Structures are given as structure tokens and as C-alpha cells.
Amino acid sequence: MMTVLSHKNFQVPEYLNASVPAEYRGLTRDGVNLMVIDSNSGNTHHNSFHEIGSYLEPGDVLVLNNSRTIPSVLKGRQDGMEVEVRLSRSISDHEWDVLVVQQDADLSKPIYFEDGIEGSVVGSGSEFPLVTMSFSVGGSELFDFFYRYGKPIRYEYIENPWPLQAFQTVYGSVPGSVEMPSAGRAFSWKILNQLREEGIELAFIQLHAGLSYYGNDLWPNPDGHPEAYEIPEETARLVNEAKERGGKVIAVGTTVVRTLETAADENGNIEAGKGITNLYIKKGTNLKAVDGLLTGFHEPEASHLDMLTAFLPEDILMAAYQEALEHGYLWHEFGDMNLILPLGGKA
């Protein structure tokens, strides 16, 4: 008898954890697999990411997050002990919310990094176990330090220290995310240009993604996980024009959904600007601006999975995830992709 998955009870087999970027597996970035879920019918389609354009229509708008990943794992020392600090969110010119990985580190004492740079905990972070760290330098000097000595975050399923470039989307241009906004990783410029030629509009927002996991089975609570975002005037215009003409707005990544829904009014119109969002999108959330979502495959504990239940009923989502497991789709930032949208006549 087939086991029916529920939101929090499934497990991803270890062999489905993508530990190697596609381009190091003999593929191109856009050579990964694509599972499409029609949020109207619940039907699924299995294809290559190269074919994403066949599920979109002229006049649709694809909204991408252009935040660029920074090397956010820092190694310092305290009383002779190595201490790992993971950046999470910029607070000011010289202060960041961070995770101090070693639980026995003394947070009342400074942590000493290379080049004589010090970090001192000056308060609690946005949520436990984050703390706010004040660095002894700020601005461009602090970013130079990050790029000189920092490493990309890689969780236990990634064995090799891939270069920072492996943790970037091809269009990421504004440094600030501590983890890659990975839904856009599969896009190549070739596919983006093809979509433009087919009449698909491309627009960009910026949301600097914070840590997605704190270790020891602790996951961020979106209510307590503020992230900075920015929506340019052009993007607001493209989204609003698409809504007016009946085109679909498709978010590339949960970060884009969070940004657009934060800035949307009751009619789904977007206002350009900057801000901080704490928006928690989950089952029952009325999506006002976004019609579809391109994303990866999410673990049962991740709040990203909660967001997907705002797009389609949980039983349909879990049936699709069962299919994804059976088809051998790969999970995490180097894995395969999942497009959720109302297909209408395209199915």
C-alpha cells in the first residue's frame, strides 16, 4: 500500500540530496529536471528545465531576485578556540545578525578574525539563536574582509568546497544574500534570452536572503526572520501592466513571492520601494500579486514548504512530492526545479 505523504512526515533519501552543481555533473545549469504542477487541476508534468518556456505565455512576467551571494562563513578565534560565525542579515554599516556555531563560545568576549578585525556581540538577533555582532570595521572595508576570508555556506549534504561562483545565479548583481536565492540557479542567459524572444517579460527585485537553517534542528520562523527588499519602478510597472492585461506573474523563488506580496495592495498592484519584510506566507494566505512559482524541492521542516500550500492544496502538493521522490528528483540548491502555476490551455 502506497504511503501518503503529509506536510511534515516525509523524508528525503540521502541519494536525492544534490551535492554537486549540475555543471560539475556533466550537465549545463539549465540541464536539470523540471516538474510542473498545474495548480488548477493538480496534474503534473515531467520535463527538462530547457522546456520551461512551453509552460509560459507571451505577456507573462517572470520576476527574478538579483541579490548576489556573499561568502558568509567566517572563521575567528577566541581563547585559542576556533569559532565559526555565519552571517545572516546586515543591520547597519558594521553590524550583522549572525549565528555563532560553537555553543560553548563566550558571547561576552570578542571574537578575533584575520587582519586584526574583531567582532563583539552587542545584543540579541532577530530571533534565537541569532545574535547581533558589531565588527571593528564597516562598509566596503568589512565587505573586503568577507570576500578575502569568508567561504560560502554549505550544509552537510555538500561534501566539496565548491567555489563561490557555484552559489550564484547568472544574473545576481547586488551582493548581500548569505545563501543563494537558488530558484534561479538553473537559468542560463540563453534561456532567459529565448524567453524574452517568446514575449515573456523579465523583471527583477532584490531580497537579501538570510540563513535558512540554524543547526540542531532549528529553522527560521518567518515571523521572526526579517529580510531587506527593494522593488524598482520598472518591475512594479511590468507587474502591474501584466495584471491589467491578464498575464501571469511568476515568481522565481520564495524570496520573490515574499517581496511582491509584501508590496501588493488589495488589488494585487505593486508599489516600488524599499523595506523590510516579516511576511509569513502559508496555507490560506490570499496571494494578491503572484500567480505562479518556480522553486526547488523543500524539506518537510522548511517554511518554504508552508508557502507552497498557499498556491495549491496540501494533498495535491504532497501527491506531487510523492511523484518527485519516485522520479528521483534532486533536492536542495543544486537540485531539480518545480514550477507551480495555473496552466489553463497550456496543459
* Residue 124 maps to a domain: yes
- Domain boundary at 149, 179, 196, which? 149
Give the model's pLDDT for residue 2. Answer: 47
CB atoms within 10 A of CB 125: 21
Q: Which three cell numbers stand for residue 16?
A: 536525492
Distance from C-alpha of 131 to C-alpha of 84, rounded to nearest angstrom: 13
Judge if 42 and 137 occupy the same domain.
no
Give the model's pLDDT for residue 222. Answer: 79
Query: How many domains are contained in the chain?
Result: 2
Judge if 262 and 193 occupy the same domain.
yes
Judge if 211 and 256 occupy the same domain.
yes
Q: Which three cell numbers stand for residue 121?
A: 556581540
347 residues of the chain, pLDDT tens digit each: 445 566 667 889 999 999 999 999 999 999 999 999 999 999 999 999 999 999 999 999 999 999 999 999 999 999 999 999 999 999 999 999 999 999 999 999 999 999 999 999 999 999 999 999 999 999 999 999 999 999 999 988 898 999 999 999 999 999 999 999 999 999 999 999 999 999 999 999 999 999 989 988 888 887 778 889 999 999 999 999 999 999 999 999 999 999 999 999 999 999 999 999 999 999 999 999 999 999 999 988 777 888 999 999 999 999 999 999 999 999 999 999 999 999 975 44
- Domain boundary at 115, 149, 183, which? 149
Instruction: Note down the domain range covering 89.
Output: 73-149
Judge if 133 and 82 occupy the same domain.
yes
Distance from C-alpha of 106 to C-alpha of 92, rounded to nearest angstrom: 23
Judge if 54 and 77 occupy the same domain.
no
Q: Of 57, 55, 21, 63, which is closest to residue 39 (Cα–Cα)?
A: 55
Judge if 118 and 140 occupy the same domain.
yes
Give the model's pLDDT for residue 4. Answer: 55
CATH number for 188: 3.40.1780.10
Judge if 191 and 142 occupy the same domain.
no
Judge if 282 and 185 occupy the same domain.
yes
Judge if 85 and 44 occupy the same domain.
no
* Residue 199 maps to a domain: yes
Judge if 114 and 209 occupy the same domain.
no
CATH number for 83: 2.40.10.240
Residue with cell 552587542: 122
* Residue 154 maps to a domain: no
* Residue 157 maps to a domain: no
* Residue 162 maps to a domain: no
Rounded to 10 degrees, what is the CA torsion of 277, 169, 173, 221?
20
* Residue 156 maps to a domain: no
- H or E element: which one contains 197? helix 189-197
Q: How far is CA 21 from CA 47, 244, 328, in A?
A: 19, 39, 16
Give the model's pLDDT for residue 299. Answer: 85
Give the model's pLDDT for residue 224. Answer: 77
Judge if 109 and 82 occupy the same domain.
yes
The pTM of this model reads 0.93
Distance from C-alpha of 132 to C-alpha of 125, rounded to nearest angstrom: 5
Judge if 290 and 175 occupy the same domain.
yes
- Domain boundary at 118, 149, 180, which? 149
